[in-house]
Amino acid sequence: MQKISKVIILCIDAIEYDLVEKWDLKNLKQKEYGKTILPLSFGQEPATEIIWPCFITGKEPEEMGYSSLNIYSKSLKTIVPLISPVIKKLFINNKTNNRTQKIQGRLSLLYLSILLLKKVGLIYKPTKEDIKADTIFDNNKIKSVHLHIPVLDKDAFPEYRKDIIKVISEKLHHPIIEIKQKNEFTQRAKEVYDYIKKNNWQLFMQYFFVLDGIQHIFYKNHKKIAQFYLMFDEFIKKVSENIDDETLILIVSDHGVKRGIHTPYGFYSLNKKLGLNNPKLIDFREKIEEILVKA
């Protein structure tokens, strides 16, 4: 295998494999790409606050200490059905034959249920201290930098994330959120470009939330979603043009999105062929450490 001295991991929330294929986004595909197997129990939703800690630790949720409903380790399906009739009666009118409106109603129901569960203390956002396992960034044999990683970094999510439910329920105009999403992309892309020029790291990891938000808000507008996928495709092209031959680029997602709903598989892409085939998301840590420690 060709020598690899650096690894760039671009964590792009919610890349949908089928859309990358449909639009033939060659820069996002790179030389090797496919779906990943997520660390989920049967029926469990692929929650961001579970998946990314699993990725950086290489552990299943239970091995990290995510054994309590309070930090999303069990499916919300066990509680949401109990409170959804109340929320539906209070907030949502689902008496419609329009498929788009039905999806919108289900999304509103899910988000409102989560908000209520948070309010009464049954669930809360996990913090770095809740991860009861070491991460790839704790490996002192690797010089690493991480920016905006969910749970690990407090600034992972842009402030507009909390407004998505307002957009879905038509209480906030789409253009306002779209501008904020483009600003997030521009700012975080610039950070990547800046770090490419530096030589004080072996592993650089950066997180983007924007695709997740866009696909929840514009799930019925594929043209709009495609604009953002193309934006990321061009971004990867520019990153690739500014690295040397010894740098591995790993693009990875925590799930996909179809019709505004998370899909139970992730996406990965590499600029060098490693011969992976539907890899488990939790196996990437060991693979990356193996590459960089040898370097």
CATH number reported for the structural domain that contains residue 145 in this entry: 3.40.720.10
Q: Walk along the chain (295 residues) and give the pLDDT tens digit of each residue.
A: 678 999 999 999 999 999 999 999 999 999 999 999 999 875 677 888 889 999 999 999 889 877 654 555 444 545 555 555 555 555 455 555 555 555 555 556 666 666 666 666 666 678 899 899 999 999 999 999 999 999 999 999 998 887 876 776 666 667 888 999 999 999 999 999 999 999 899 999 999 999 999 998 888 889 999 999 999 999 999 999 999 999 999 999 999 999 888 899 999 999 999 999 899 999 999 999 999 987 6
Looking at the domain assignment, is residue 66 inside a domain? Answer: no
Looking at the domain assignment, is residue 102 inside a domain? Answer: no
Looking at the domain assignment, is residue 82 inside a domain? Answer: no
142 vs 293: CA distance, rounded Å: 7
Looking at the domain assignment, is residue 147 inside a domain? Answer: yes
Number of other residues whose CB lies within 10 A of the CB of residue 223? 7
Contact present, 206 and 244 (Cβ < 8 Å)? no
Looking at the domain assignment, is residue 128 inside a domain? Answer: no
Residue 51 has which token pair?
């998946």
Looking at the domain assignment, is residue 179 inside a domain? Answer: yes
Looking at the domain assignment, is residue 107 inside a domain? Answer: no
Query: Side chain identity at 133, as an amino acid letter?
Result: A
Looking at the domain assignment, is residue 184 inside a domain? Answer: yes
Q: Which domain holds residue 197?
A: 6-58+134-294
Question: Domain count of the chain?
Answer: 1
